[in-house]
Amino acid sequence: MDASLILRVSAPLLLWVPAIVSLYLLIRGHNEPGGGFVGGLVASAGLVFFVISRGRQAALRVMRVPPAGWCGIGLLLAAGSGLLAWIDPAAGYLTHRWWFPDVGFKVPLGTALLFDVGVYLTVIGTITAMVFALVDED
Amino acid sequence: MSIAPSLALGLPLGLGLAGAIAATMMKRGVAQAGAAVAALAFLLYLLAAPGVTETTDLRFGFWSVPSLGVVGGLRLDGLSLVFVLLITGIGALVLLYASRYLKGDTRLPRLVTLLLIFMVAMLGAVTADDVVTLFVFWELTSLASFFLVAYDHEKPGARKAALQALLVTGGGGLALLAGLILVAMAAGTTSLSGIIAAREAVLAHPAAIPAMLLVVLGCFTKSAQFPFQFWLPNAMAAPTPVSAYLHSATMVKLGIYLLARLNPVYQHEAFWQELLTTAGLLTTAVGAIYALRESDLKRVLAWTTVTALGSLTMLIGLAPALSATAAVTFLLVHALYKAALFLVAGIVDHETGTRDAAALGGLRRAMPLTALAAVLAALSMAGLPPFVGFVAKEIIYEAKLATGGAAGLFASIGFLVNAAMVAIAGLLSWRLFFGPLRPTPATPHDPPKSMLAGPILLAGLGLLAGAAPSLVGAWLVDGAVAAMLGAPAAVPLKLWHGFTPVLALSAATIALGLLLLLAWGRLMPRLRRASAFDRFDTARLYDRALAGLVAWAEGTTRLVQHGSLRGYMQVLLLVAALGPLAVLVARGGLDLPEAAPLDFRALAFLPIALGAIAAAVARGTLAAVMATGLVGFGTALVFLTFGAPDVALTQFTVEVLLIVILATVLIRLPVRARDVRTGRQRTVDAAVAGALGLSVALVLLAVLAAPFDPRLGEWFGAESVPGGHGRNVVNVILVDFRALDTLGEIAVLAIAAFSVIALLRASGRGARVGS
């Protein structure tokens, strides 16, 4: 496909800036607006620009794992994060656990983050899978 | 010696299942291994047999759903014992037989797997102690039968027969499900023993008669009772071992089993008795007449099986004690001789290359051992002493003569049917093996031991059981009769009853049967040509019903799936518009919220209105997409100004993605420069769109007018930090409080993605995404 020169040159920028913003949204999502879902959408927006301007093969190289794989890893991560709940046998599936390791200040770490990362990856996988399927280049 | 109930009841099922799985991976000796599994199961049940008497049983509960009041489990009583011994015993012999019969067939592992799955399903069905377990296994037998009948699936005839068997028994299965649910509701329990104990409640229920009819319908289809008898002869498209096992000895008796099992509930109801005796009697007559019209050995046998099944149904419906004893005895007898005869027919087919009775004869010299098995089994079928068939026939005559008013009718139809059975028995033994040798496509000789073991053993058992009927009675029949009647009541079995009217009837039966046999060569073609039988064949009704169903499906498909995208959208949007409006009207009209003062935030609605108007008047598709994007951004702005930054953020991102993706797709489509709709079409579209907009607006107003319940929001707000360690309530709900919902949603996302890939690939337009 022939994308405009402007789009082709700015493609890496349009890929990596949303990617970094999406990670920021993902991490802060528990306390401020953001989270895995919207983070995933922002990251996929970057990937969609990239595939439109540089083609599917280039986008697949950037992603390393094909979209279906992103979906699978995301689903496994989200579903698996709930299993840790059974460290306490009485807890139900997907009851998140929290740890607060002290590194000068207390870092809140919870399985909820793992779950949100799972959502993030699944959203990216889903949207890129659909867009890649629409963009034919053979 | 006796073993734990869990072992006796659970282990055979587990073994069968393990064998079925193992069979798929085995290369050699697969049928022998399957036979060993069945034999082992037989042995386990044999070990458990001493624990089962007229008044005791074995129970093994292994699953339950307390919230639904379902307590599942298995139970072995006298009636179940008879069945499990037949299923595993004949199963072992049939599998052994199949090892030679289908030697070299690459599909043998598949056959063994299916046969073992079928065996497990049968065992589960006849030992189930609750209607849910029973039904699940019952349906599994229908499915196994479908795949086994369609074994030669490249033949259209086999496929049609398999589908017919599945549709008839599966349709009956649906009726059975409804019936069992009604019965279980009336009894207040799903347990079969509980239903029998609650018989008063079952009979007093307002839906007692429909429930009974539905259950009986299920049993009649399964056991090929008139008018559903036609699927059974067609199921002979299956390989002979399958016919011997499923369609004579076991599966077709499952309906009989359930009738017998529920008999304690209904036995004193006149309607039950009349229904079963009438249907049974008709079935015996139909089976006998059609059996005389056929010359294909397997189809002849299939029709005699129909007759036998009719006799069993009739005996269950006749007055108790005597007829119940007769039913159980005949069930055993029939399973023994019919399986043996089927296996003999298979041997003859295998060795001579034909199974046309008219073309066969004088095989005695070529295959003496086969002839021996055939004669032994046929003598039992004809009901000659000292075979157990004689014991059964005598007691059936006795039961018929004891019916009072209708005794004459029962006895005379029974007499004619039995004479036909004698003639068929003669056909399968005398005509086939004696007399002049007729040339056949292949040169016949006795098959190897593994094929002969089944028929000889089964036929020999018929002789042994006839010699010592009281032993069989005490060991197997009495317990089963007690289960059928709800109390021990069996009549002792005797070989010799003395010179009674029944004996005279037996003698006359045999005489008439021999006459029929002599005339068979002329009678069979004449009966076959008589088109009246074809005209009144209920199979025609089935064909017509099926053709009608297909035509109806085609019609509705054309109506609903017309292929016009605009039509689909119109229907969808109109339903979406009128549905909520109907609810509003049903709830008593429109509610309007109190007017609130306008403030600057109302400006956020401006882009929405502008976008909507622009989309409606836009000329090009791309412009319309852009305009709808404006609506989306306006909505996000509203979310933002009204304090939902999270939702607004998501909405913005989704809008960007939507526009980019739509634009990408639209650029690739052959672009239509102008709107091709006519003025009238545009008016209709505008009306539909307007209706939807109006409907949504009215519903939203009504929602706002309802008092707002803040409890949920307050709870999440208060619990978010202490419970979820997060200040963003929306996110905490998504990943913590409602995490399971989110998990389901992302799973749906992934499935949707894969569907899109599959759809685009199937249409030949998609690119490979996985590579």
Specify whether the CB–CB gap between A96 and B724 falls below 8 A. yes
Quick one: pLDDT at residue B474? 76
Closest residue to B734, CB basis, from A35, A48, A131: A35
Mean pLDDT over residues B12-40, rounded?
88
Return the higher-pLDDT residue of A121 and B106: A121
Residue showing tokens 């009128």 = B578
Residue showing tokens 């990670």 = A23
In terms of Cβ atoms closer than 10 Å to its own Cβ (0-12, 13-18, 19+), residue B200 is exposed
Cβ contact, residue pair B657, A44, below 8 Å: yes
In terms of Cβ atoms closer than 10 Å to its own Cβ (0-12, 13-18, 19+), residue B622 is middle
Could you tell me if residue B630 is inside a domain? yes
Quick one: pLDDT at residue B136? 93
Rounded distance, CA A132 to CA B767, Å? 7
Chain A CB within 8 Å of residue B356 CB: no
Rounded distance, CA B246 to CA B87, Å? 9
Q: What are phi and psi of A98, to 5 degrees?
A: -130, 145
Quick one: pLDDT at residue B766? 43
Quick one: pLDDT at residue B319? 63
Could you tell me if residue B4 is inside a domain? no
Specify whether the CB–CB gap between B255 and B220 falls below 8 A. yes
Tokens of B718: 């208060």
β-pair partners for B74: B60, B128
Quick one: pLDDT at residue B767? 44
Chain A CB within 8 Å of residue B646 CB: yes
β-pair partners for B60: B74
Cβ contact, residue pair A72, B750, below 8 Å: yes
Tokens of B355: 């199974």
Could you tell me if residue B19 is inside a domain? no
Residue where one domain finishes, among candidates B477, B507, B529: B529
Provide the terminal-to-terminal Cα distance of chain A, rounded to the nearest Å. 10
Chain A CB within 8 Å of residue B660 CB: yes
Do B352 and B468 fall within a single domain? yes
pLDDT of B697 strictly over 50: yes
- The alpha-helical segments, DSSP class H, found in B383-444 are 388-401, 407-426, 432-433
3-state secondary structure of B238: coil
CB atoms within 10 A of CB B428: 27
**Chain A residue nearest residue B666, CA to CA:** A134
Specify whether the CB–CB gap between A114 and A75 falls below 8 A. no
Computed on alpha carbons and rounded to an integer, the radius of gyration of chain B in Å comes to 35
The residue type at B4: A
Short-list B225, B37, B45, B200, CA closest to B118? B37
Compute CA distances B623 → A45, B613, B619, B620, B654, whole Å.
21, 12, 7, 5, 18
Give the angle B60-B62-B63 at the CA atoms, nearest 5°.
135
Compute CA distances B128 → A52, B391, B427, whole Å.
61, 30, 39
Cβ contact, residue pair A35, B731, below 8 Å: yes
pLDDT of B770 strictly over 50: no
Cβ contact, residue pair A30, B740, below 8 Å: no
- The alpha-carbon gap from A63 to the nearest alpha carbon of chain B, in Å, equals 12
Do B499 and B477 fall within a single domain? yes
Do B642 and B751 fall within a single domain? no
Q: Which residues contact B767 (CB under 8 A, 6 or more apart)?
A: A56, A132, A133, A135, A136, A137, A138, B760
Do B575 and B462 fall within a single domain? no
Cβ contact, residue pair A45, B665, below 8 Å: no
Rounded distance, CA B560 to CA B557, Å? 5
Do B642 and B732 fall within a single domain? no
Rounded distance, CA A105 to CA A126, Å? 37
Specify whether the CB–CB gap between B487 and B404 falls below 8 A. no
Residue showing tokens 């053979």 = A138
Specify the number of domains making up chain B. 3
| Chain B residues near residue A38 by CB distance under 8 angstroms | 646, 649-650, 653
* ipTM, interface predicted TM-score of the complex: 0.92
- H or E segment to which residue B531 belongs: helix B531-535
Specify whether the CB–CB gap between B88 and B12 falls below 8 A. yes
In terms of Cβ atoms closer than 10 Å to its own Cβ (0-12, 13-18, 19+), residue A27 is middle
pLDDT in tens, B572-588: 999 999 999 898 888 87
Rounded distance, CA B96 to CA B34, Å? 8
Specify whether the CB–CB gap between A55 and A45 falls below 8 A. no
Compute CA distances A1 → A5, A80, B101, B657, whole Å.
12, 40, 63, 20
- The alpha-carbon gap from A60 to the nearest alpha carbon of chain B, in Å, equals 9
Q: For the range B21-24, what are the long-range contacts, defined as Cβ-Cβ under 8 Å and sequence gap of 24 or more?
A: B21/B113, B23/B109, B23/B112, B23/B113, B23/B116, B24/B109, B24/B110, B24/B113
Compute CA distances B438 → B351, B366, B373, whole Å.
14, 11, 20
Give the residues of chain A that fall short of pLDDT 70.
Answer: 1-3, 136-138
Cβ contact, residue pair A119, B664, below 8 Å: no
Tokens of B321: 């004690």
Overall residue count recorded for chain A in this entry: 138
Do B724 and B695 fall within a single domain? no
Largest CA distance in chain A: 60
Do B740 and B634 fall within a single domain? no
Could you tell me if residue B696 is inside a domain? yes
Quick one: pLDDT at residue B393? 78
Residue where one domain finishes, among candidates B714, B732, B754: B714
Specify whether the CB–CB gap between B754 and A69 falls below 8 A. no
Quick one: pLDDT at residue B757? 82
Rounded distance, CA A54 to CA A45, Å? 14
Chain A CB within 8 Å of residue B766 CB: yes
Give the angle A124-A126-A132 at the CA atoms, nearest 5°.
95
Chain A CB within 8 Å of residue B754 CB: yes
Do B759 and B728 fall within a single domain? yes
Computed on alpha carbons and rounded to an integer, the radius of gyration of chain A in Å comes to 18
DSSP A86: G
CA neighbours closer than 13 Å in the CB half-sphere of residue A18: 22
| Chain B residues near residue A138 by CB distance under 8 angstroms | 767
Assign B174 a pLDDT band (cuts: 50, 70, 90). Answer: very high
Cβ contact, residue pair A134, B665, below 8 Å: yes
Closest residue to B746, CB basis, from A49, A74, A138: A74
Quick one: pLDDT at residue B673? 56
pLDDT in tens, B736-762: 888 999 999 999 999 998 888 888 776
pLDDT of B769 strictly over 50: no
Cβ contact, residue pair A78, B740, below 8 Å: no
Chain B CB within 8 Å of residue A2 CB: no
Chain B CB within 8 Å of residue A118 CB: yes
Could you tell me if residue B588 is inside a domain? yes
Rounded distance, CA B640 to CA B607, Å? 14
Rounded distance, CA B433 to CA B415, Å? 26
Do B698 and B721 fall within a single domain? no
Rounded distance, CA B465 to CA B473, Å? 9
> Which B positions 726-745 lie with beta carbon below 8 A of chain A?
726-728, 730-732, 734-736, 739-740, 742-743
| Chain B residues near residue A77 by CB distance under 8 angstroms | none
Do B294 and B422 fall within a single domain? yes
Cβ contact, residue pair B731, A132, below 8 Å: no
Most confident of A97-101, B21-25, B246-250, B608-612: B608-612
Q: Which of A35-39, B136-140, B273-277, B521-525 has the lowest mean pLDDT?
A: B521-525
Pairing of strands A109-110, B58-65: unpaired
Quick one: pLDDT at residue B587? 82
State which residues form the domain around B273: 267-356+364-529
Rounded distance, CA B280 to CA B298, Å? 22
Chain B CB within 8 Å of residue A44 CB: yes
- The alpha-carbon gap from B608 to the nearest alpha carbon of chain A, in Å, equals 22
Could you tell me if residue B737 is inside a domain? yes
The residue type at A62: V
Residue where one domain finishes, among candidates B714, B739, B756: B714
Return the higher-pLDDT residue of B11 and B497: B11
Do B695 and B729 fall within a single domain? no
Could you tell me if residue B9 is inside a domain? no
Overall residue count recorded for chain B in this entry: 771
Rounded distance, CA B522 to CA B385, Å? 29
Quick one: pLDDT at residue A138? 46
Chain B CB within 8 Å of residue A29 CB: yes
3-state secondary structure of B76: strand
Do B598 and B692 fall within a single domain? yes
DSSP A102: B
pTM, full prediction = 0.73
Rounded distance, CA B126 to CA B82, Å? 10
**To the nearest whole percent, how much of chain B has pLDDT over 90?**
27
Could you tell me if residue B393 is inside a domain? yes
Mean pLDDT over residues B515-524, rounded?
83
